[in-house]
Structure 1
């Protein structure tokens, strides 16, 4: 399931080239996995098979779906900017991975941590 498309990621990055699409797709996939791992919620709870936010019986978008999309975009931007991993990081650390603070702030209330 593709929650964020290449076109959406390029728009977010203000990129007008497709020369790095393969690299960008890796970042989309990694950011999506990181966001969904952070909240421990299956993508299918929030998004349909096409990757669009699900709607409830009231016709409203399922709570949290748009926050997940934005968190993924923020994480893509962070991965794109810091390709070599050398920048000072303003990230929320923990649980084996890090997310940009903005992404963690969007997702924090959705977390369902796993006890070990």
Structure 2
């Protein structure tokens, strides 16, 4: 149920080694779960009837670009600042402002 693939995340993170693949996979899973919970029923627009993320013939998730970008941003934040000391300028329990900006219009009701 991942919103992005390992290859997409590594490309965004500019990583060309496999050293952190397991960690990145966990972060992709966590970011995907966080975003799907945030969107709640609004995620139904791009999930299949089983609640899974559909993929294309290359195995890439068929998810809107803004949702994928939000997932990649979260993965990058988790990897680059795991304890939140540098970039966590949002309250505990909330999403980074960039993620909220990307996803706000998809919320039901939309955030103003």
1:46-85 Cα offsets, whole Å, 9 max, x none, are: 14532213xxxxxxxxxxx221111101111111111133
Report the TM-score, using the length of structure 2 for normalisation: 0.75
Deviating beyond 6 angstroms after TM superposition, the runs of 4 or more aligned structure 1 residues are: none
**Preserved CA contact (<8 Å) 1:74 1:100:** no
Alpha-carbon RMSD: 2.1
Instruction: Tell whether 2:15 aligns with 1:19.
Output: no
- Unaligned 5+ segments in structure 2 are 48-52, 56-60
Higher strand share: 1
TM-score (norm 1): 0.72
Give the superposition deviation at 1:88: 4.7
**Structure 1 residues not aligned, in runs of 5+:** 54-64
